[in-house]
Amino acid sequence: SDRYAVVGNPVDHSLSPQIHTAFAAQAGEDLVYEKLLAPLDRFTESAQTFFAEGGRGLNVTVPFKLEACELADALTERAAAAGAVNTLVYGESGNLLGDNTDGAGLVSDIRNNLGWTIQDKRVLLLGAGGAARGALLPLLAEHPSQLHIANRTAAKACQLADEFSHYGAMTAGGLDQLCGGFDLVINASSASLGNQLPPLPEHLFTSTGRAYDMVYGAKPTPFVHWARELGVEAADGLGMLVGQAAEAFYLWRGVKPRVEPVLAQLRRTLT
């Protein structure tokens, strides 16, 4: 059977083997999916060895997404824009294609699992790091009426909006300059990872506004908790995780797996 793996450091906690094994069973695809712990200074060697030994594809996680971008022989447009690769595909002629399915996973979770619309909505993206960067192109493709990037360090948000300006219209600023009126607020900051809530005004949402945190956990993240306290419908990023995996699986196998049963199963094991 064909070999795939998730490479990271640390990688022990990764849910990707569980997700892809479930996808494979569902689609009747014969594959094995492993965890590959690469030494912090040996990503390239580890990936090259994996492919030399017959590996067909890798998912790349922290902290190797930038190095994977450099390793790839060719990049999809969304990976080039993100400047980061989370999926490597070994091609027939031995070349490595780098893609980034994180943003597509986010958008498909919002649209297909949650049933929320992005088109013609006012969208706020919190954060200006790698996670925000990866989400920009797929979000713009949904044609929100407004896309505003707000970051603790305002200059980083403005720089990101500048860099992406040829893909679509965006505004940017600091968290302290935020006004309200957003239909969808996506937390792409890493604040939740440190169990922190970015300093946000309470009047951020419209009456039907929704909140999405890219981070997930057994308990609601601080951002999800805060939004729900305000009466705002809120979701964490578990569906994004399964969604990016589904996009990777499609790239590798040409089959689109059904996300919903796998997401429900993961949610049960998480709580």
Catalytic residue positions, numbered: 65
Closest CA to 136 of 167, 111, 99, 159: 167
Closest CA to 138 of 198, 71, 81, 181: 81
Nearer to ligand ATR, 171 or 196 (CB): 196
- Is position 15 annotated in a ligand binding site? yes
Give the nearest distance from C-beta 124 to ligand ATR in angstroms. 13
Q: Which one of residues 82, 191, 227, 266 is an interface residue with ligand ATR (CB under 6 A)? A: 191
Q: Which one of residues 128, 149, 240, 248 is an interface residue with ligand ATR (CB under 6 A)? A: 128
Give the helix, strand, coil percentages of the chain, each rounded to 5. Answer: 45, 25, 35
**Binding window for ligand ATR (CB under 6 A); candidates: 73-81, 89-97, 148-156, 228-236:** 148-156
Kindly state whether residue 195 participates in binding ligand ATR, applying the rule CB under 6 A.
Answer: no
Give the nearest distance from C-beta 82 to ligand ATR in angstroms. 10
Nearer to ligand ATR, 180 or 199 (CB): 199
- Is position 14 annotated in a ligand binding site? yes
Kindly state whether residue 151 participates in binding ligand ATR, applying the rule CB under 6 A.
Answer: yes
Closest CA to 137 of 173, 158, 165, 109: 165
The rounded distance, in Å, linking the Cα atoms of 154 and 179 is: 14
The rounded distance, in Å, linking the Cα atoms of 149 and 169 is: 11
Q: 182 φ, ψ to 5°?
A: -95, 140
Nearer to ligand ATR, 21 or 173 (CB): 173
The rounded distance, in Å, linking the Cα atoms of 64 and 196 is: 25
Binding mask 2-41 for ligand ATR (x = CB under 6 A): ----------------------------------------
What are the tokens at 248? 């990777």
Nearer to ligand ATR, 24 or 204 (CB): 204
Q: Which one of residues 112, 117, 190, 206 is an interface residue with ligand ATR (CB under 6 A)? A: 190
Written as one string, the DSSP assignment of 140-161 is: HTT--SEEEEEESSHHHHHHHH
What are the tokens at 142? 């949904």
Q: Which one of residues 129, 168, 173, 217 is an interface residue with ligand ATR (CB under 6 A)? A: 129
Nearer to ligand ATR, 199 or 261 (CB): 199
Q: Which one of residues 14, 61, 108, 189 is an interface residue with ligand ATR (CB under 6 A)? A: 189
Contact 7, 33 (CB under 8 A): no
The rounded distance, in Å, linking the Cα atoms of 109 and 263 is: 10
Write out the binding residues for shikimate.
14-16, 61, 86, 102, 216, 244
Residues that bind ligand ATR (CB under 6 A): 127-132, 151-153, 156, 189-191, 196, 198
